[in-house]
Amino acid sequence: MKTTIKDVALQANVSISTVSRIINNQPGYSEATKEKVEKVIKEMGFHPNGLARGLIHKKTHTIGVLLPNIISSFSSKLLNGIEESAHENHFSTIVCNTGPLGNRTLEYLSVLGEKKVDGIILTSSPLKEEYYKEIKALDIPVILLSSMSYRYSVPYVKVDDKQAAYHAASYLIQNGHTKIAMISGSQDDELAGLPRYEGFIKALGDHGLSVNENIIVYGDFGFQSGRTSMEQLLPFRDEFTAIFVASDDMAMGAISVASEHNLKVPDDFSVIGYDNTNIAEMAIPPLTTVAQPLREMGKVAITKLIEMINNQDTIASAIMAHEIIERKTVKKIIST
Amino acid sequence: MKTTIKDVALQANVSISTVSRIINNQPGYSEATKEKVEKVIKEMGFHPNGLARGLIHKKTHTIGVLLPNIISSFSSKLLNGIEESAHENHFSTIVCNTGPLGNRTLEYLSVLGEKKVDGIILTSSPLKEEYYKEIKALDIPVILLSSMSYRYSVPYVKVDDKQAAYHAASYLIQNGHTKIAMISGSQDDELAGLPRYEGFIKALGDHGLSVNENIIVYGDFGFQSGRTSMEQLLPFRDEFTAIFVASDDMAMGAISVASEHNLKVPDDFSVIGYDNTNIAEMAIPPLTTVAQPLREMGKVAITKLIEMINNQDTIASAIMAHEIIERKTVKKIIST
DNA sequence: CTGAAAGCGCTTACAG
DNA sequence: CTGAAAGCGCTTACAG
């Protein structure tokens, strides 16, 4: 039997109210009773029941985080920032792995609703109408992380993917590359696929380069699809000197296929990735890539979410700065 | 204002008790009232309040998971198995990143206590006396994952590290290597440092090989320490043909330093890692390593924990099978 | 088949 | 400074 506030009150010979005041640092007791009660609390190892408190305050100090792929280095870093910042603010975080396509999102939303979380972070996936409706019905503050919605006005924190891709391509161009391939995500993917593709195309255009459709191929951001994408690119080997790859994992896949064909990066061609996951720095040679401040983004999301929880009102979104991390996979080319 | 059971009762013109019976599938109402009430529930979008339920049942259907390093691929895989299996069993999981040395463990234990989680999984860190005491005081079932305790009788699920290390070394020996270096974790680390070291030493002994202290160096399992360890090994370059590295991250560090010195794996020396993290398969060449069934281990931990939650009694521990994943970093040597 | 009442463990006016 | 009572949103005997 866990000891309750009643047990403490009995033992200390005071009322429940008094014990409550003391554990909540509210005025209304003498120093003497305070000491007496605190002694009993120590002795009995009393911890107030969070459920009872939550029931009264309508606050659980718990937030729910929905992630499509908990196992990826990308999600881990976001989660790391979220969890750390949540803990600093005395919030616990419930993780929900919604699956690759976010299939379990609705399920999780419903349990988060019953558990009365104070807020929800939806990461890396589009805000579908059904999600939005459920969240509205639940009447819980939400923030989108590494995602956004044109349709619904929900605050978000993310990087500008189009701009980041634009910079990645520009970086290649500044290093003398004019024939540039791309391994892109699907154009159906409004979050990470399309915008990176568009940024790439725009950079080429702005620098007076033409687009060569032969050397734009599509994967799903995963290692394996990087491999197959590279195989599609191989026949056009002499049409490019560099590749912009929309994820580090795909970049690693591409490089490993190249290496199997005795093609060396960056000597035979340059590569710039996207994400700056752990692998990027461990790769041989270390991968030049576009970094998103993932931990930082997680922290900002929490800060904003808590603000929403405390003052009901809407909050501005944040576009976080990306950065190109120069490592060893892009070679400066002297124009021929 | 969220709608409560009272609102539903009022609207449907029945008592609270009846509504309660209906949402809990308990006998005691006519088909007619059931339909009426369910209609109202839909209309009002009523979801029972989990806090109130938890207060009564003394069950929250929530478990707490303590991880020392949420961001590592190792922890992510464990967490993935845990979360998936928890969700299947209708449990939510609160993640707690205790920090590299588990410094925040006590803090988290206390909040998990207040939140009345039904069970706790402590992963990858030793069960210190203070943790054990707190957990006992909280009176919540615990299971150790990728960890164990000699001192306290707490169920655990892990791999036999000593045996796995023994196999890794034996694998090298079977491939003709007789001069084998090791990059180990600290011998002060009873969980992953000492046992892997011991398994390595025992394998050498059992195969009649002598131990060369020059080529046993110590890191902290991280990429950087793999780099510095390799630098310590370099002066003794001709005293080994293979290295057993106690983590994949360190193996990657070692290989990258080697590559900077124009040493190629496996042509110049072989490497076998430990963990089978994502990087292992993305590496060039892909890393031969010892795999732990991490997702599976997470699932087993949940299964056992839930069993403990339901029938108070103690549970047997599980030693999971490890496996050597043969990839491309170990070369068969023909004895000279 | 249905409802009134007590209770889960707390907090918060209210009264003294 | 202190306590009795009502209430947070439910469930569960108990009575009818």
pLDDT in tens, A179-235: 999 999 999 999 999 999 999 999 999 999 999 999 999 999 999 999 999 999 999
- Asked if residue B26 and residue B131 are part of one domain, the reply reads no
Report yes or no on A148 lying in a domain.
yes
Is residue B25 pLDDT above 90, yes or no? no
Is residue A26 pLDDT above 90, yes or no? no
Which structural domain range is residue A316 located in?
59-159+294-321
Report yes or no on A192 lying in a domain.
yes
- Asked if residue B197 and residue B242 are part of one domain, the reply reads yes
- CATH number of domain containing B135: 3.40.50.2300
Report yes or no on B335 lying in a domain.
no
Is residue A313 pLDDT above 80, yes or no? no
Cβ distance A96 to B83 less than 8 Å, yes or no, reads yes
B134 touches chain A (CB under 8 A): no
Is residue B312 pLDDT above 80, yes or no? no
- Asked if residue B303 and residue B154 are part of one domain, the reply reads yes
Cβ distance B282 to A256 less than 8 Å, yes or no, reads yes
Residue carrying the six token digits 């070692």:
B254
Q: Provide the b/e sequence for A217-251 (b: ≥16 CB within 10 Å).
A: bbbbbbbebbbbbbbbbeeeeeebbbbbbbbbbbb
Count, residues in chain A? 336
Euclidean distance between CA atoms A269 and A254, whole angstroms: 11
Is residue A154 pLDDT above 80, yes or no? yes
Please report the pLDDT score of residue B11 as a whole number.
87
Closest residue by Cα to residue A166 from A190, A202, A192: A202
- B235 CB contacts (<8 Å, ≥6 apart)? none
Report yes or no on B336 lying in a domain.
no
- B246 CB contacts (<8 Å, ≥6 apart)? B165, B182, B183, B184, B185, B192, B193, B196, B197, B219, B221, B274
Please report the pLDDT score of residue B1 as a whole number.
60
Report yes or no on A331 lying in a domain.
no
B130 touches chain A (CB under 8 A): no
Across B258-269, average pLDDT: 94
Lowest mean pLDDT of A238-252, A316-330, B3-17, name the range: B3-17
Please report the pLDDT score of residue A27 as a whole number.
82
Helix (H) or strand (E) holding B229: helix B223-233
Please report the pLDDT score of residue B201 as a whole number.
98
Q: Residue A311: which pLDDT band, with cuts at 50, 70 and 90?
A: confident
Closest residue by Cα to residue A159 from A167, B75, A151: A167
Is residue B336 pLDDT above 60, yes or no? no
Q: In this structure, are residues B125 and B145 in contact, taking their beta carbons and an 8 Å threshold? A: no
- Asked if residue B82 and residue B10 are part of one domain, the reply reads no
- Asked if residue B155 and residue B171 are part of one domain, the reply reads no
Nearest by CB: B111 against A76, A83, A92: A92
- Asked if residue A174 and residue A146 are part of one domain, the reply reads no
- Asked if residue B185 and residue B125 are part of one domain, the reply reads no
Euclidean distance between CA atoms B219 and B249, whole angstroms: 11
- CATH number of domain containing A30: 1.10.260.40
CA distance A270 to chain B (A): 16
- Asked if residue A109 and residue A211 are part of one domain, the reply reads no
Please report the pLDDT score of residue B252 as a whole number.
95
Across all residues in chain A, what is the average pLDDT? Answer: 93
Euclidean distance between CA atoms B138 and B117, whole angstroms: 10
pLDDT digits (tens, 9 = 90+) for B211-239: 999 999 999 999 999 999 999 999 999 99
Residue carrying the six token digits 């309750």:
A4
Can you list the alpha helix ranges (DSSP code H) found in chain A? 5-12, 16-23, 31-44, 50-57, 73-88, 105-114, 129-138, 161-174, 194-206, 223-233, 248-260, 278-282, 294-310
CA distance B3 to chain A (A): 10
Q: Residue A312: which pLDDT band, with cuts at 50, 70 and 90?
A: low
B145 touches chain A (CB under 8 A): no
Report yes or no on B183 lying in a domain.
yes
Q: In this structure, are residues B330 and B272 in contact, taking their beta carbons and an 8 Å threshold? A: yes
- Asked if residue B176 and residue B268 are part of one domain, the reply reads yes
Is residue B10 pLDDT above 80, yes or no? yes
Across all residues in chain B, what is the average pLDDT? Answer: 93
CA distance A242 to chain B (A): 19
Please report the pLDDT score of residue B123 as a whole number.
96
Quote the longest CA-to-CA distance of chain A. Answer: 92
Q: Using the CB atom, is residue B21 less than 7 Å from strand C? A: yes
Nucleotide nearest to B6 (CA to C1'): D9
Is residue B118 pLDDT above 60, yes or no? yes
- Asked if residue A205 and residue A170 are part of one domain, the reply reads yes
Is residue B142 pLDDT above 90, yes or no? yes
Q: Residue B182: which pLDDT band, with cuts at 50, 70 and 90?
A: very high
Cβ distance B115 to A70 less than 8 Å, yes or no, reads no
- Asked if residue B298 and residue B155 are part of one domain, the reply reads yes
Q: How far is the CA of B155 from the C1' of D8 (A)?
A: 38
Please report the pLDDT score of residue A109 as a whole number.
96
Is residue A151 pLDDT above 70, yes or no? yes
Is residue B26 pLDDT above 90, yes or no? no
Report yes or no on A327 lying in a domain.
no
Q: How far is the CA of B53 from the C1' of D12 (A)?
A: 12
Cβ distance A279 to B278 less than 8 Å, yes or no, reads yes
Cβ distance A93 to B93 less than 8 Å, yes or no, reads no
Q: Tell me which residues of chain B, numbers 236 to 265, contact chain A at a CB-CB cutoff of 8 Å.
A: 249, 252-253, 255-256, 259
Report yes or no on B331 lying in a domain.
no
- Taking CA–CA distances from B69, the nearest residue in chain A reads A80
pLDDT digits (tens, 9 = 90+) for A91-137: 999 999 998 888 999 999 999 999 999 999 999 999 999 999 999 98
Q: Using the CB atom, is residue B2 less than 7 Å from strand D? A: yes
Q: Which of residues 292-311 of A touch strand D (CB under 7 A)?
A: none
Please report the pLDDT score of residue A335 as a whole number.
61
Euclidean distance between CA atoms A211 and A204, whole angstroms: 7
Lowest mean pLDDT of A28-42, A104-118, A242-256, B196-210, name the range: A28-42
Is residue B150 pLDDT above 70, yes or no? yes
Strand partners, A216: A182
CA distance A121 to chain B (A): 14
Residue carrying the six token digits 């007076």:
A208
- Asked if residue A270 and residue A172 are part of one domain, the reply reads yes
Q: How many domains does chain B have?
A: 3
Q: Using the CB atom, is residue B17 less than 7 Å from strand C? A: yes
